[in-house]
Amino acid sequence: MTAYLFPGQGSQYVGMGKEVLKYKEAEEVFAEASDSLRYDIKGLCLEGPKDRLSLTEYSQITILTVSIAYLRVLPYLFDGNPIFSAGHSLGEYSALVACSSLSFRQGLQIVQRRANLMKEASLKNPGGMSAILGLQIEAVEGITKEAICEIANINSREQIVISGRLEALSVAEALAKERGGKAIRLKTSGGFHSLLMKEVEIGMTEVLANEKICPPKLKFIPNILAEPVDNPEVIRDCLIRQVSNRVRWEETMKFLEKEGVERVVEIGPGSVLTNLAKKMGFTGISFELMLK
């Protein structure tokens, strides 16, 4: 049994998508994205500059585009029939396109507005994110309470991302090191998946109000529930609340394991999700590496 996984913000890099452009289906995806948003998305992916590509309003769109370009050419290289589809944070939109719940053009428009809302919230409520390695969830929970920040992503048993104001992160990082862990400040423009993004929910409610969301053709697993949903209105609510709530990725992967999934295919730039899956015992395939 196979599941498709789609990466989130932070997986972008200059040159991503280059290996897939020999397929006309991929060219068509880049052309549709550029036409929809009125700037050269292929050029930004291939040539950067890195500083621009790393900005929230560009990284989210380019990752979505590259992920869907890979998805469109997947049948040339892979003959598996997926049962489940899930994405890490931003990757949920790619996962919903894969499920035919959203069209690619819908995804582009929604993600562009989502990115702008997150950028605005980050300017109003400055913050950041740090990865805490080598500590169990209970220890990290205690640290966040002391430092007054939040757990944003539970990626694995010992890879937990925290989010909050910069001064709180500095306190949390020091506490983590004191207690035998390691802290790595992430290159994000804000404190995503925390209360610093709470006002984004209001904007996303407006963004999604008139969008048609179709029942997913695959079993879609949203981040905040870590189990499949097929009701379009529940999916809409999950997308609204996702930016300010925790990404329950480890629980998502445990659910797939319980359901008998043996193979996961990461569709998008990088192989972060593939590596996490392999540590849990899955057969992980990075479609990007398959293309090279």
Could you read off the pLDDT of 182-223 as tens digits, one per residue? Answer: 999 998 889 999 999 999 999 999 999 999 999 999 999 999
Give the residue from 147, 167, 185 where a domain finishes.
185
| Secondary structure (DSSP) of 161-210 | EEEE-HHHHHHHHHHHHHTT-EEEE---SS--SSGGGTTHHHHHHHHHTT
pLDDT tens by residue, 57-112: 999 999 999 999 999 999 998 887 899 999 999 999 999 999 999 999 999 999 99
* Same domain assignment for residues 201 and 101: yes
* Same domain assignment for residues 13 and 88: yes
Tell whether the model's pLDDT for residue 158 goes beyond 90. no
**220 close to 5: Cβ distance less than 8 angstroms:** no
11, 193, 244, 271: which one is catalytic?
Answer: 193
Structural domain containing residue 134: 128-185
In angstroms, how far apart are the furthest CA atoms of the chain?
A: 53
Give me the mean pLDDT over the 149-166 stretch. Answer: 96
* Same domain assignment for residues 167 and 238: no
Report the CATH number at residue 135: 3.30.70.250
* Whether 67 is catalytic: no
Looking at the domain assignment, is residue 190 inside a domain?
no
pLDDT tens by residue, 130-147: 999 999 999 999 999 999
* Same domain assignment for residues 200 and 157: no
Give the residue from 185, 203, 220 where a domain finishes.
185
Looking at the domain assignment, is residue 119 inside a domain?
yes
What b/e sequence results for 47-60 when a residue is b if at least 16 CB atoms lie within 10 Å of its CB, and e otherwise? Answer: ebeeeebbebbbbb
67, 85, 89, 194: which one is catalytic?
Answer: 89
Give me the mean pLDDT over the 111-123 stretch. Answer: 97
* Same domain assignment for residues 249 and 199: yes
Q: Which pLDDT score is estimated for 187? A: 85
In the chain, the number of structural domains is 2
Q: Which pLDDT score is estimated for 261? A: 95
Tell whether the model's pLDDT for residue 179 goes beyond 90. yes
Q: Are strands 128-133 and 182-185 parallel, antiparallel or unpaired?
A: antiparallel
* Whether 193 is catalytic: yes
Indicate the DSSP class of residue 247.
B
* Same domain assignment for residues 63 and 175: no
Q: Which pLDDT score is estimated for 257? A: 96
Q: Which pLDDT score is estimated for 79? A: 82
* Same domain assignment for residues 199 and 285: yes
